[in-house]
């Protein structure tokens, strides 16, 4: 590991190329900040509390690193016990990570069981905004081999029965790595603020707030706000936190305020992603626009 040293009020960090990049010390006493040159890729790191934050110059670099790191957890789990269990997220923030994850070599996908975070109530799998459709087309269909199982959320009929079914399944499959994101309103999965940090059930039916629904429309999944469903089945905060490792991909400037609240602010249900500070093995993968508010404080 390369350790930063303080030189005249700046950090000097040995890089893989044996050079140094000085940066001003502008973060809190409990944090350190450095930039390490690794070939042509510029990576920025913050350490605060138990959460690591990595910042990349592009969405593609972000997605590649998140996929690579998560893939290593999967490989290690398969090597250790013959199987791995993962959680996948959806939305525009996951495009890059998923495109790289399906191309990573050395993963024995038939030994990997998959869950996902959420699905709209009443949404058929044929709808363009269906998360089941998204993950089938962008993940499952792109894999070199099918996974051991993919436990899709079917929220078209009896949602409580579906929550119970999935809860029983995931209880039998402790999660090795969760690939997640953060919403513009700071949500994790569809746990909009104020999120329930105490809910122990794995899956719950939730109401979607207006900010969340506007984000879904803004990303182009629905033509109008009125078309965005008002309810969803969501994995709970507590279930997400049961994951051994959390890989959280968050690109775009529109997420900058949510990222700042999650990293710099107190742990509060009003910023659901702030709970990641208490996880112990969570990493945020950001591009420079998403991290822009961090650099201002």
pLDDT value, residue 286: 97
Contact predicate 202/239, CB 8 Å: yes
Q: In the chain, what are the domains?
A: 61-296 (3.40.50.1360)
What mean pLDDT is predicted for residues 126-150?
Answer: 96
**Predicted confidence (pLDDT) at residue 7 exceeds the cutoff of 60:** no
Whether the model clears a pTM of 0.95, i.e. scores above it, the answer is no
Place of tokens 């038939």: 110
What is the per-residue DSSP string for 280-293? SSEEEEEETTTTTT
What mean pLDDT is predicted for residues 205-231?
Answer: 94
- Cβ count near 288 (within 10 Å): 18
Start-end of H helices in the chain: 59-81, 95-101, 131-138, 159-171, 210-218, 237-241, 256-264
Distance of alpha carbon 39 from the chain centroid: 26
Contact predicate 120/229, CB 8 Å: yes
pLDDT value, residue 51: 85
What mean pLDDT is reported for the chain? 85
Distance CA 151, CA 153 (A): 7
| 3-state SS record for 185-207 | CCCECCECCCCCCCCCCCEEEEE
pLDDT digits (tens, 9 = 90+) for 9-50: 332 222 332 222 222 222 222 232 223 333 333 344 444 446
Confidence tier at 295 by pLDDT (50, 70, 90): confident
């Amino acid at each position: 590991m390369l350790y930063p040293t303080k030189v005249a009020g700046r950090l000097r960090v040995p890089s893989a190329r044996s050079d140094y990049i000085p940066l001003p010390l502008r973060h809190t006493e409990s944090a350190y900040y450095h930039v390490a040159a690794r070939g042509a890729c510029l990576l920025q790191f913050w350490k605060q509390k138990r959460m690591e934050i990595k910042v990349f110059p592009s969405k593609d670099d972000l997605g590649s690193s998140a996929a690579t790191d998560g893939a290593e957890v999967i490989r290690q789990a398969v090597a250790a016990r013959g199987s791995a269990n993962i959680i996948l997220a959806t939305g525009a923030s996951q495009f890059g990570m998923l495109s790289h994850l399906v191309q990573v070599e050395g993963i024995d996908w038939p030994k990997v069981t998959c869950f996902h975070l959420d699905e709209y109530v009443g949404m058929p799998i044929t709808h363009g905004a269906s998360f089941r459709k998204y993950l089938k087309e962008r993940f499952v269909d792109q894999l070199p081999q099918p996974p051991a199982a993919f436990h899709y959320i079917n929220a078209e009929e009896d949602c409580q029965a579906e929550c119970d079914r999935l809860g029983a399944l995931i209880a039998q499959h402790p999660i090795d790595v969760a690939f997640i994101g953060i919403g513009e309103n700071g949500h994790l999965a569809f746990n909009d603020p104020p999120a329930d940090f105490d809910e122990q059930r794995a899956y719950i039916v939730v109401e979607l707030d207006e900010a969340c629904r506007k984000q879904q429309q803004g990303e182009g999944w629905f033509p109008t706000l009125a078309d965005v469903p008002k309810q969803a089945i969501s994995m709970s905060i507590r279930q997400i936190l049961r994951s051994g490792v959390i890989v959280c991909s968050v690109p775009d400037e529109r997420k900058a305020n949510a990222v700042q609240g999650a990293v710099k602010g107190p742990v509060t249900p009003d910023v659901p992603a702030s709970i990641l500070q208490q996880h112990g093995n969570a990493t945020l993968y950001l591009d420079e626009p998403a991290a822009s508010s961090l650099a201002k404080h």
